[in-house]
Structure 1
């Protein structure tokens, strides 16, 4: 194996990480999994040749997809996570005492087993938390069939290739909406807009057909090179994006959570979009 891992997700752009040591490699029923150590990023998890998470900067991605909607909502008790087998999203969600149940639907059991063994720095003890319910199933099928309702749905999916492709369809988003309680929020990962404009535009176009309030917000995650990363936002409660800073500060303080990226000020600023991304979001 080369001493460099090269990601070729994008047609005209590739990025690389030096492989200091290969720690694990296997092919499951659904995908090829590789874990290696990098001097800067620590342990690096890749699926099908695409970097999924690293020990060094996972906190940015997971904090912004978990804490932002939970604190915007103000009363989240039940959370559904689609994907996220590394456990980082689950771990952040469970930091909130208000959460009484977190259901994680992951298609590949081997990723969860792997995380428990090799990625404790990311998942912590989240899978042992009594509030956790792990469901090994297709997320598309789960939201289409379940009768449960959730205050927040987090789609922590891979990019729209392979097993993750169906999690970027209008049908899937419509079924997610059916699973939301009144005033519930749906958030999604939507890649790097500079390189994945169509992905973001399509998701927001589908959202506008289904929800009263739709938007995207941004965070800069070094691992996901090529510009800031976009997260989709959808809800029927049009008040949740216009909360005053003082309200968010009070909720954040009350939660008693220590963060390394998220703050209430970052929360509000994340929705401020540069024109090139704002144009993508509003594209018909």
Structure 2
């Protein structure tokens, strides 16, 4: 099995990906980075042997964490991304010509540097877009100190272990709420509920104390194995209930081409199966 990478994120479940060719393997100040070629998923990025993104299926994750809140909001001009060092999230946000400014806060400069070299197809020039302000800093520290003014905040974090753990705390979510404009939307990566239910429950408990509308939505991403992934949703607006007709108008006006997101998928993603509903306090 030496030509396979086995991800052991969960106690009772593991997945393996064949390593066709190891392209990069190095430890930064914060974590160990690997990029390898896989026959099905193309280039695969792992941090501490946990899959972060792949060429093959990253579009699902990035489209659903960007287009859902931005099109639901309808007038988002300033967007904050916490994490996302590979640049894929920034690229998806910047696909919206209506977005005027994006601040991206990444703790690990090494992730950005090697992603530019080894995964340029994820960012596709996003780091050179004049609307992007890249900040190398701890996301929690930035959120605590920022003056805010963001219409949409996207928390593109790793799992709640290591550097990403602080991004799942009540204090962090409270600071994020203060950084939103009135009617702003906070969305978060909350793992696979079937295997990481406590992660979703903890976030939803914090969101319910902060927002009038707190829930999650789902998308199925093959390399985040174990069932659909949950994305936390928090806002004081009624943006979740915007009609599919309005979403269709906004989506058409954006001119964005997608491989997963549609207005109909957007609406359906908020329809939760009972086992996920029961994880929301």
Asked if Structure 1 and Structure 2 have the same fold, meaning a TM-score greater than 0.5 normalized by the shorter chain, the answer is yes
Residue 226 of structure 1 aligns to a residue whose secondary structure is coil
Alignment match, 1:224: 224
Residue 13 of structure 1 aligns to a residue whose secondary structure is coil
Residue 130 of structure 1 aligns to a residue whose secondary structure is coil
| TM-score normalised over the length of structure 1 | 0.98
Q: Quick check: 1:262 aligned with 2:261?
A: yes
Residue 257 of structure 2 aligns to a residue whose secondary structure is coil
Return the offset for 1:148.
Answer: 3.1
Q: How many Å separate the matches in 2 of 1:242 and 1:147?
A: 29
Give the alignment of 1:172-251 within 5 angstroms. 172-237=172-237, 239-251=238-250
| TM-score normalised over the length of structure 2 | 0.99
Structure 1: segments with no counterpart, 5+ residues: none
Residue 280 of structure 1 aligns to a residue whose secondary structure is coil
Q: How many Å separate the matches in 2 of 1:157 and 1:190?
A: 9
Alignment match, 2:109: 109
Alignment match, 1:14: 14
Alignment match, 1:77: 77
Q: How many Å separate the matches in 1 of 2:110 and 2:240?
A: 37
Q: How many Å separate the matches in 2 of 1:157 and 1:101?
A: 20
Alignment match, 1:142: 142
Contact 2:221 2:228 in 1 (8 A): yes
Q: For residues 145-199 of structure 1, give each alpha carbon's deviation from its aligned partner in whole angstroms, at most 9, with x where no partner exists.
A: 0113100000000000000000000000000001000100000000000000000
Q: For residues 40-84 of structure 1, give each alpha carbon's deviation from its aligned partner in whole angstroms, at most 9, with x where no partner exists.
A: 000000001100000000000000000010000000000000000
Contact 2:148 2:178 in 1 (8 A): no
Give the alignment of 1:35-114 within 5 angstroms. 35-114=35-114
Q: How many Å separate the matches in 1 of 2:267 and 2:203?
A: 21
Residue 44 of structure 2 aligns to a residue whose secondary structure is strand
Q: How many Å separate the matches in 2 of 1:229 and 1:155?
A: 14
Contact 2:148 2:181 in 1 (8 A): no
Q: How many Å separate the matches in 1 of 2:240 and 2:235?
A: 10
Alignment match, 1:153: 153
Paired residues, what number? 281
Pairwise CA RMSD of aligned residues?
A: 0.7
Q: How many Å separate the matches in 1 of 2:43 and 2:239?
A: 36
Alignment match, 1:271: 270
* Runs of 4+ displaced beyond 4 Å: none
Structure 2: segments with no counterpart, 5+ residues: none
Residue 267 of structure 2 aligns to a residue whose secondary structure is helix
Q: How many Å separate the matches in 2 of 1:34 and 1:118?
A: 10
Residue 96 of structure 2 aligns to a residue whose secondary structure is coil
